[in-house]
């Protein structure tokens, strides 16, 4: 949409204009560069209270990072429901199409620490805070619809296995190591999610183009008290895209902030990321109609069996003003729900309900974290909770208990009919036991369903993903055990991975005997819209200002991001022309390449740039002059996705596909 020659800081707000600097106690400061000393070269004096305060505050600037999902980035936005959903729920924000509900979303990786690269292979967190008029609803989901475990008691085990190994704190930001694959092989319920994570879903291209899933089964409850089982989905209107693994690895060095920059810049440019909210609904009487348990978080509800109903749209349209104050201090919780939404008995969900408040208390320093601006509901908070660390309110009055006569029993409780939250009355009977339900024990059918549903390139990438990760393990036993697990899902996958990592494929073929597919699982079901696509225009030699302007015009009209890369051609005004050099630009930072050349030979940097773009299956466009000189390169100019043209309009044809896998 914009030539990259723009001042990115232009949108950052000016602050404190014309105001004096003060201490935290409000005293105006006359000196902020030299501490108080005895004479110019003498000892410093502790009585310099401004110095002491400034250093003390700095010493405590960091808070503990999240134990998981430490690396993340967020933005503000809004949500609107398309139609009144009171058939299913009484939730105010889902029954008033005229209302706009503010939201805050934080995307994250799971494994890496706060400073780890964005493009690692991992599940992505997709947590949304809805500031509804009835209180906060947090949809704390992921970009993969299933999870590695079925019971929350195993979460510390999973996370200890996937995090850097304790003896050497390696690797950072990834699961390609022994303890994770040992966990995988010993805990077969992780198979389905692992297959998703090893597929293209594990290396999304950006946050704008991921799906979001609530993962667990929740309940919707309508005004009459009828309940429905529900799964929540976010479908990106910008389509769904992934990186290729080589590209993701290069980006981990070239630009570790690749995803956060993309989100920030898209919002700054007004190319707002959007998702539609989808619901899958199962009626209570259908609970046992499926060949999977609807409470099992390692299972999807295949969309071909339970269609997703699109019910609303979320748009992210405002960057945060301060990442620490807002994104870092945001406290999400799957237990933050509003009337009309309730929980199911999914044991993973039930365990999460304990963990999130508990973790915020140590991360954010006490139980008043709800009072931090980003966590505050938009409606008024009134109750008898008092005191504790970092209390921000000054409570008035004599009473802080219920019931009371001194204050007319206020704040009072509200019946369900008038908007008070009442838990759904589910009848439950049984013995107290510690045992997983038999209905949770099919670990492999849906892993097979997923593999069956992929296109051939997607399947091949999944083989590569497993081969890389298992191949990185040092223990031959772990590699063998992992391949043995794959053999229980898909024989071809097991054979190909075994060959790649150098272990035996088990003699007996134990794969799931099923050709079942779900048409919604491939990523290729999504169209990739032209706007937002980025193109590197490589300038080889002297290209006229007129030509560059014609390109700039077409790109802008089609809402494409572009950069002119190379050396500034002669006779071009300084404020126009080159925006990146071969030192600053890199093929992995763009979606495609366009080469403009005069009669001179191609620069080696141009050739390298085009070769890597070609290797990553992205569109390559060269003008006629450049095409004649690419003969001896690694590029087949007749291959699919390679276009020879001098016309800027060729982009419309070239960019209909993000990747040309058949090259």
301 near ligand HDE, rule: CB under 6 A: no
By CB under 6 A, name the one of 97, 351, 365, 367 that touches ligand HDE: 351
From 36-44, 134-142, 167-175, 236-244, give the range in contact with ligand HDE by CB under 6 A: 134-142
Minimum separation from the CB atom of position 175 to ligand HDE (A)? 15
125 near ligand HDE, rule: CB under 6 A: yes
Residues 6+ apart with CB under 8 A from 140: 125, 127, 128, 332, 333, 334, 352, 356
Minimum separation from the CB atom of position 112 to ligand HDE (A)? 13
CA dihedral sign, ordered 638, 644, 650, 654 = positive
By CB under 6 A, name the one of 129, 231, 352, 586 that touches ligand HDE: 352
323 near ligand HDE, rule: CB under 6 A: no
Q: What angle do CA 38, 43, 45 make, to 5 degrees?
A: 75
* Kind plus residue range of the DSSP H or E element containing 563: strand 561-566
The pair of three-digit structure tokens given for residue 560, joined into one six-digit string:
């494409």
For ligand HDE, the closer CB: 68 or 528: 68
For ligand HDE, the closer CB: 367 or 419: 367
For ligand HDE, the closer CB: 90 or 217: 217
Q: Tell me the site size for ligand HDE, rule CB under 6 A.
A: 25
Minimum separation from the CB atom of position 141 to ligand HDE (A)? 5
Minimum separation from the CB atom of position 233 to ligand HDE (A)? 12
Q: How far is CA 301 from CA 290, 296, 307, in A?
A: 9, 10, 9
- Distance, in Å, from the CA atom of 426 to the CA atom of 245, rounded to the nearest integer, reads 47
202: left (phi over 0), alpha (psi -120 to 50) or beta: alpha
Minimum separation from the CB atom of position 263 to ligand HDE (A)? 14
For ligand HDE, the closer CB: 68 or 240: 68
For ligand HDE, the closer CB: 95 or 375: 375
Angle between helices 491-501 and 476-486 (to 10 degrees): 160
113 near ligand HDE, rule: CB under 6 A: no
For ligand HDE, the closer CB: 69 or 76: 69
By CB under 6 A, name the one of 1, 3, 50, 68 that touches ligand HDE: 68
142 counts as catalytic: yes
From 34-42, 45-53, 66-74, 399-407, give the range in contact with ligand HDE by CB under 6 A: 66-74
Q: How far is CA 320 from CA 331, 379, 438, 498, in A?
A: 15, 21, 46, 47
Binding to ligand HDE, residues 464-503 (CB under 6 A): none
404 counts as catalytic: no
Closest residue to ligand HDE, Cβ-based? Answer: 125
Bridge partners (DSSP) of residue 73 are 107
650 near ligand HDE, rule: CB under 6 A: no
- Distance, in Å, from the CA atom of 424 to the CA atom of 341, rounded to the nearest integer, reads 9
For β-strands 341-343 and 274-282, DSSP reports them as unpaired
112 near ligand HDE, rule: CB under 6 A: no
Neighbours of 600 (CB within 10 A): 11
- Distance, in Å, from the CA atom of 286 to the CA atom of 292, rounded to the nearest integer, reads 12
- Distance, in Å, from the CA atom of 305 to the CA atom of 548, rounded to the nearest integer, reads 52
Residue owning tokens 């902020």: 32
For ligand HDE, the closer CB: 68 or 221: 68
SS3 546: helix
Minimum separation from the CB atom of position 213 to ligand HDE (A)? 7
By CB under 6 A, name the one of 89, 90, 109, 142 that touches ligand HDE: 142
Binding to ligand HDE, residues 176-215 (CB under 6 A): 215
Q: Provide the Cα torsion 157, 160, 166, 171; round to 10°.
A: 140
Binding to ligand HDE, residues 152-181 (CB under 6 A): 152, 155
Minimum separation from the CB atom of position 235 to ligand HDE (A)? 17
Residue owning tokens 């403009």: 596
Minimum separation from the CB atom of position 53 to ligand HDE (A)? 30
The site string for ligand HDE over 74-93 (x = CB under 6 A, - otherwise) reads --------------------
Q: How far is CA 121 from CA 151, 196, 287, 398, in A?
A: 24, 11, 35, 56
359 near ligand HDE, rule: CB under 6 A: yes
127 near ligand HDE, rule: CB under 6 A: yes
For ligand HDE, the closer CB: 197 or 330: 330
Q: How far is CA 68 from CA 118, 147, 158, 339, 352, in A?
A: 14, 14, 11, 29, 13
For ligand HDE, the closer CB: 29 or 389: 389
- Distance, in Å, from the CA atom of 286 to the CA atom of 282, rounded to the nearest integer, reads 6
Q: How far is CA 120 from CA 134, 234, 247, 251, in A?
A: 38, 22, 10, 9
For ligand HDE, the closer CB: 49 or 354: 354
SS3 274: strand
**Catalytic-labelled residue, pool 50, 69, 461, 586:** 69
**Catalytic-labelled residue, pool 3, 76, 142, 533:** 142
| Cβ neighbourhood burial of 115 (10 Å; 0-12, 13-18, 19+) | exposed
By CB under 6 A, name the one of 89, 108, 206, 558 that touches ligand HDE: 108
Angle between helices 445-453 and 191-198 (to 10 degrees): 20
From 312-320, 353-361, 471-479, 551-559, give the range in contact with ligand HDE by CB under 6 A: 353-361
Backbone phi, then psi, for 425, in 5-degree steps?
-90, 90
From 20-28, 138-146, 202-210, 495-503, give the range in contact with ligand HDE by CB under 6 A: 138-146
Catalytic residue list: 69, 142
- Chain contacts with ligand HDE (rule: CB under 6 A): 66-69, 72, 106, 108, 125, 127, 140-142, 147, 152, 155, 215, 330, 332, 348, 351-352, 355-356, 359-360
């Amino acid at each position: 949409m914009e030539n990259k020659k723009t001042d990115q800081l232009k949108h950052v707000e000016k602050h404190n204009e014309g105001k004096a600097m003060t201490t935290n106690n409000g005293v105006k400061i006359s000196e902020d560069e030299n501490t108080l000393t005895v004479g110019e070269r003498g000892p410093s004096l502790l009585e310099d209270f401004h110095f002491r305060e400034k250093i003390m505050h700095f010493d405590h600037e960091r808070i503990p990072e999240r134990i998981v999902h430490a690396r993340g980035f967020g933005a503000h936005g809004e949500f609107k429901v398309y139609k009144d959903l009171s058939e299913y729920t009484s939730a105010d924000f889902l029954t008033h199409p005229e209302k706009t509900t503010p939201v805050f979303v934080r995307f994250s990786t799971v494994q890496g620490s706060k400073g780890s690269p964005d493009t690692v292979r991992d599940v992505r967190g997709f947590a949304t805070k809805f500031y509804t008029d009835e209180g906060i609803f947090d949809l704390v989901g992921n970009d993969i619809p299933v999870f590695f475990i079925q019971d929350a008691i195993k979460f510390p085990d999973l996370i200890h296995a996937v995090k850097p190994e304790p003896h050497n704190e390696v690797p950072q930001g990834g699961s390609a190591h022994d303890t994770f694959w040992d966990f995988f092989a010993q805990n077969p319920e992780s198979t389905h999610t692992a297959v998703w994570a090893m597929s293209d879903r594990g290396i999304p291209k950006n946050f704008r183009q991921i799906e979001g899933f609530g993962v667990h089964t929740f309940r919707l409850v309508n005004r009459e008290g009828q309940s429905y089982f529900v799964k929540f989905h976010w479908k990106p209107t910008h389509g769904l895209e992934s990186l290729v693994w080589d590209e993701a690895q290069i980006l981990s060095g070239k630009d570790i902030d690749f995803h956060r920059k993309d989100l920030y810049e898209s919002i700054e440019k007004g190319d707002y990321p959007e998702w539609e909210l989808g619901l899958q609904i199962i009626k209570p009487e259908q609970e046992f109609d499926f060949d999977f348990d609807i409470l099992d978080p390692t299972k999807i509800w295949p969309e071909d069996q339970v269609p997703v109903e699109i019910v609303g749209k979320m748009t992210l349209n405002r960057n945060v003003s301060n990442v620490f104050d807002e994104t870092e201090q945001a406290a999400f919780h799957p237990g933050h729900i509003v009337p009309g939404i309730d929980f199911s008995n999914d044991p993973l969900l039930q365990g999460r309900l304990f963990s999130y408040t508990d973790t915020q208390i140590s991360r954010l320093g006490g139980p008043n974290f709800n009072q931090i601006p980003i966590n505050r509901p938009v409606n008024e908070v009134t109750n008898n909770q008092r005191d504790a660390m970092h209390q921000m309110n000054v409570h008035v009055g004599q009473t802080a208990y219920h019931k009371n006569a001194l204050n007319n029993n206020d704040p009072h409780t509200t019946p369900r009919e008038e908007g008070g939250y009442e838990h759904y009355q589910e009848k439950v009977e049984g013995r107290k036991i510690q045992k997983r339900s038999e209905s949770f024990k099919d670990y492999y059918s849906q892993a097979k369903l997923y593999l069956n549903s992929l296109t051939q390139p997607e399947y091949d990438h999944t083989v590569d993903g497993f081969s890389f990760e298992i191949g990185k393990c040092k223990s031959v036993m772990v590699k063998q055990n992992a391949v043995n697990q794959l053999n229980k899902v898909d024989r071809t996958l097991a054979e190909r991975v075994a060959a790649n990592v150098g272990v035996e494929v088990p003699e007996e073929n134990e794969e799931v005997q099923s050709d079942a597919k779900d048409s919604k699982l491939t990523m290729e079901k999504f169209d990739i819209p032209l706007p937002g696509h980025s193109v590197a225009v490589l300038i080889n030699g002297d290209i006229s200002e007129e030509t560059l302007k014609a390109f700039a015009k077409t790109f802008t009209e089609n809402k494409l991001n572009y950069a002119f890369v190379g050396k500034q051609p002669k006779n071009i005004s300084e404020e126009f022309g080159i925006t990146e050099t071969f030192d600053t630009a890199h093929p992995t930072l763009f979606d495609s390449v366009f080469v403009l050349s005069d009669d001179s030979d191609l620069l080696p940097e141009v050739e390298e740039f085009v070769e890597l773009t070609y290797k990553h299956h992205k569109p390559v466009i060269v003008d006629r002059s450049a095409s004649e000189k690419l003969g001896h390169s690694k590029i087949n100019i007749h291959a699919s996705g390679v276009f020879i043209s001098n016309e800027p309009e060729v982009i419309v044809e070239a960019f209909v596909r993000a990747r040309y896998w058949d090259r």
